[in-house]
Chains A and B, each alone.
Chain A
Amino acid sequence: MDFDIRRLLDRIRRRRTDTEQNGERSVRTDGGTTTERSGRFSKMRHSDAVQALPFWLPPALLMGLFVYGAISWNLLISLTDWSGLEQPVYTDLSLEMYTQMPNDPSFVAAFRNTVVLLVAFTVVSLLIGLVLAILVDQNIRFENTFRTIYLLPMALSFVVTAIFWSWMYNPSTGTINVVLSGLGLDFLTMNWIGDPRTRLAAIIFALTWQFSGYAMVVYLAGLRAIPDEHYEAAKVDGASSFKMYWRVIVPQLSTATTSAAVVLMVFALKAFDFIFVMFGDTPGRSADILAVMMFRVAFSRTQWAYGAAVATILFLMALAVVGPYLYMQYKRGDL
C-alpha cells in the first residue's frame, strides 16, 4: 500500500513538472472543474457516473426502502381505519384519522407539550451551551477535561439518563431536593416528576443537562472560527466583556446557532426513550408528547391507523424544521 502511494506521488510530481515546463496550464486549484469540456473529457465523466453507481446505489436502495418506502407506507396506513389484529384494508381510504385529531383532547395535549418541549429545550440548551462555550474558550487550563465532562451525558443512553434522573428527582432522598433543602430552600422542594405541574419542566431540565454539551461543541467551533482581531477591536473600543460578546461575537455565531438549533429540535422530537423509561407509555396529559402518544396508540392499543396518522404529523413537524434549513444550506452552497 505504501509502495503504491509513493509510486503515485512520484507520477503526480512528474506530471506537474511536465505541465509547468510546457507552460500549458498553471497548477489547478479548482479540482479540475474548469477544464474545457473536450469530447474525451465528457466521455470520461460519463463513465465516471456509471462507475459510481455500484458504490452509492445499493446503500441508497437499502436506505430508501427503509426511509422513503416506510414513510409512504405509513402515510397509506394512516388513511385506512386499520386497528386490532386483522390485516389493513387499503381499498377504502379517507382522512378520517386526521380529522378526528382536533377533537381528541389527548392529541391536543400531546401536540402542545411537543411544541413546548421543542421550543423550551432548544432555547435553554442553546443558551447554556453558549455560556459553556464562552467559559471554556477563555484559555483555561485543562480545557479538554472540562469539555469532556460537559459533553459526557451525550454519550449515555436515554434509558440510563432517565433512570439517573428519576433518582435525582426522588421527593424524599433525591439529590435535587437534598441540595435545595441543604441551601435552606425547603419551600422549593417538591415531587418534581410526580406533580403534573412540574413534570414537563423536570423532563426539559434533564434533557437540557444531557444535550447542552452538544450546543457547547458547536458554539466552540464557531467561536474558534472568529478572527482574534474582532476581540481585540472590541477591547480597544472599551466594550465590557458582556457587551463585546453580545454585540460583536454572538451575531457572528448565527450559523452555529441555526445548525445546533435544528439538531436539538430533532432530538426533542425523538425524546421518546427518555419519557418512556421514566413513565411508561402513559406519562399523563401534562407530559405526553406525540412520540410517546404514537407508540401508545399503535403498539399498546393497536389503533394502527391512528398511530400512523400521529406519526405523520410528527414527520411533518420534523420536515418543517429541517426543510428550510437544508434549503438554506443548499442556497449557500454548504452541502
Chain B
Amino acid sequence: MTAAESAETTSREQETSALKGFDTQRAALYTVLLGLIAFYLSPLWGGLTTAFKTDTGFLQTTPLIPPTPEWFTLEPWELALATMQGGLVNSMLFVVPATILSATLGSLAAYGLTKLSWRGQVGILVIFLAGVFLPYQSVLVPLRQFWSAVDLAGLLAFAPFLANRADLIELTITHTAYGIPICTILFRSYYKTMDDEMIEAAKIDGASAFGIYKRIVLPLSMPMFAVTLIYQFTQVWNDLLFALVLVTARSNYVVTQSLNELQGSMAQQYNIQMAGAFIAALPTIIIYIVFGRQFAQGISGAS
C-alpha cells in the first residue's frame, strides 16, 4: 500500500464518476487514511531507523530520517541480542506450554458447559467471566505468598534441570490459570453456534462424552484453537507484571524483563533500546502479520 497506489485508485474513479465533488471527497479520504497510517507507524519507524544508527548518528539526525551509510551500523542489534538471548529462550520455554495448556483447558471447560442447561451454564459462565476482567494487582500479594509456600524448587530437587527452572514452571501454571477464563469464553461462544445434531447422533451411537469431544468437537474446533492460541500467546509473551513478581533468579528472566533491564542499563543508548524492543516484539509482530484475522477475532471475542 503506497501513496502511488491510492492516487491511482482516485484517478480511476475520476474517470468513471460523474460527480466532481465525489472525487475530491475520495482524495481527501485517502489522504486522511494515509496520514493516520503515518501516525500509527511513526513510533515503529522512529525506532527502526534509530536501531540502525551509530551513537553519533541517532544524536545528530532525527528519527524520521533513515540511517545514511556513514552512520549505518548493526551493532545495536548484536548488543541487544546478546543481553536478551536468555530472556528469549526463557520466554519460549514458558509461553508455549502456558498457551497450549490454557487453550486446551478452555476448550474442555467450554465443551462441558454446552452439556449443561442454560441456567447452569450462565451461572458458571459468570464465574469464569469475572476472571477475564480481573486486575492482576488484586492477586499479586497472595500469589507471591502461595508460590513461596509451595516451594516448587524444593519439590523438584530430584530433577535439577526442572528445579533450576522452577520460576518458569510457576509462571506457566499462573498464566495457564489466569488464561482459562478468556479461553473458555472464546470457545464457548464458538460451541454455542455449533450444530449439535451431529453430537446427538453420536450419542445415540453410544459414544462417550470424551469420545464425542475427541472425534467430533475437537476436530471442528481447530479454527477456534488458532484464534485462542494466537490471542493467548500474544498476551502471555507481552506480560511483565507476573514475571516481576514470580521470577527471582536472574537466569530465569523472561524477555520482557530483560528488555526492561536493558532499557534501565542503557538509559541514553536509544539505538540499543530500540533494537531490543524490536527483538522482543518480533514473535508477536510476525504472528500478527501472518494471522491478523484470527488476532482481530480473538480481541473482539474477548469483549
Bound together, the chains give a CA A49 to CA B116 distance in angstroms of 6
A249 within 8 A of B: no
Is B29 a contact of A138 with CB atoms below 8 Å? yes
Is A48 a contact of B115 with CB atoms below 8 Å? yes
Select the residue from B139, B260, B295 with max chain A CB neighbours within 10 A. B139
B71 contact set on A, CB distance < 8 A:
none
Bound together, the chains give a CA A239 to CA B156 distance in angstroms of 71
Bound together, the chains give a CA A299 to CA B134 distance in angstroms of 20
Is B259 a contact of A159 with CB atoms below 8 Å? yes
Is A151 a contact of B296 with CB atoms below 8 Å? yes
Nearest-neighbor residue (CB-CB) of A142 within chain B: B1
Nearest-neighbor residue (CB-CB) of B288 within chain A: A155
Bound together, the chains give a CA A271 to CA B146 distance in angstroms of 25
Nearest-neighbor residue (CB-CB) of B138 within chain A: A315
Known: A31-B196, A52-B112. A65 touches B177 (CB 8 A): yes
Give the residues from 4 to 50 in chain A that come closer than 8 angstroms, CB to CB, to chain B.
4-5, 8-9, 11-12, 15, 31-33, 45, 48-49
How would you classify the secondary structure of chain B's contact residues: helix, strand, loop or mixed? helix
Known: A74-B138, A135-B33. A326 touches B201 (CB 8 A): no
Is A71 a contact of B62 with CB atoms below 8 Å? no
Bound together, the chains give a CA A175 to CA B215 distance in angstroms of 55
Categorize the interface residue count of chain B. Answer: 35 or more
Bound together, the chains give a CA A310 to CA B138 distance in angstroms of 8
A74 contact set on B, CB distance < 8 A:
138-139, 141-142
Residue in A12, A262, A318, A335 whose CB lies within 8 Å of B134 = A318
Is B127 a contact of A64 with CB atoms below 8 Å? yes
B89 within 8 A of A: no
Known: A175-B43, A217-B300, A314-B135. A8 touches B201 (CB 8 A): yes
**Stretch of A55-63, A100-108, A189-197, A228-236 contacting B (4+ beta carbons < 8 Å):** A55-63
Q: Closest Cβ of chain B: how far from A320's Cβ, in Å?
A: 11
Give the residues from 41 to 57 in chain B that come closer than 8 angstroms, CB to CB, to chain A.
41-44, 46-47, 50
Is B238 a contact of A59 with CB atoms below 8 Å? no
Is B273 a contact of A167 with CB atoms below 8 Å? yes
Task: Give the number of chain A interface residues (Cβ < 8 Å).
Answer: 114
Known: A67-B139, A273-B241, A330-B122. A57 touches B300 (CB 8 A): no
Bound together, the chains give a CA A250 to CA B112 distance in angstroms of 39
Known: A178-B62, A318-B134. A209 touches B105 (CB 8 A): no
Is A218 a contact of B138 with CB atoms below 8 Å? no
Known: A56-B124, A170-B270, A178-B64. A154 touches B113 (CB 8 A): no
Is B198 a contact of A5 with CB atoms below 8 Å? yes
Select the residue from A165, A260, A270, A290 with max chain B CB neighbours within 10 A. A270
Nearest-neighbor residue (CB-CB) of A78 within chain B: B141
Is B141 a contact of A77 with CB atoms below 8 Å? yes
B181 within 8 A of A: yes
B116 contact set on A, CB distance < 8 A:
48-49, 52
Contact with A along B15-28 (1 / 0, CB 8 A): 00000000000000
Give the residues from 113 to 151 in chain B that come closer than 8 angstroms, CB to CB, to chain A.
113, 115-118, 120, 122, 124-131, 133-146
A94 within 8 A of B: no
B299 contact set on A, CB distance < 8 A:
154, 214, 217
Is A12 a contact of B198 with CB atoms below 8 Å? yes
Is B197 a contact of A12 with CB atoms below 8 Å? yes
A157 within 8 A of B: yes
B265 within 8 A of A: no
Is B273 a contact of A298 with CB atoms below 8 Å? no
A89 within 8 A of B: no
B169 within 8 A of A: no
Q: Closest Cβ of chain B: how far from A45's Cβ, in Å?
A: 7
Is B201 a contact of A52 with CB atoms below 8 Å? no
B292 within 8 A of A: yes
Give the residues from 232 to 251 in chain B that come closer than 8 angstroms, CB to CB, to chain A.
234, 237-241, 244-245
Bound together, the chains give a CA A164 to CA B117 distance in angstroms of 49
Other than the known A156-B238, A262-B133, what 11 A-B pairs have Cβ atoms closer than 8 Å?
Answer: A48-B116, A52-B115, A59-B108, A70-B138, A152-B41, A159-B259, A164-B46, A221-B300, A298-B140, A314-B138, A335-B122
- 20 sample A-B contacts, Cβ–Cβ < 8 Å, listed by A number: A8-B198, A33-B118, A48-B115, A65-B177, A66-B174, A67-B134, A88-B145, A135-B36, A152-B40, A153-B40, A153-B43, A155-B295, A157-B280, A158-B238, A160-B280, A163-B273, A163-B274, A167-B270, A266-B133, A330-B122
Considering the complex of A and B, which 3 residue pairs feature the smallest CB-CB distances, nearest first? A55-B112, A56-B112, A157-B238
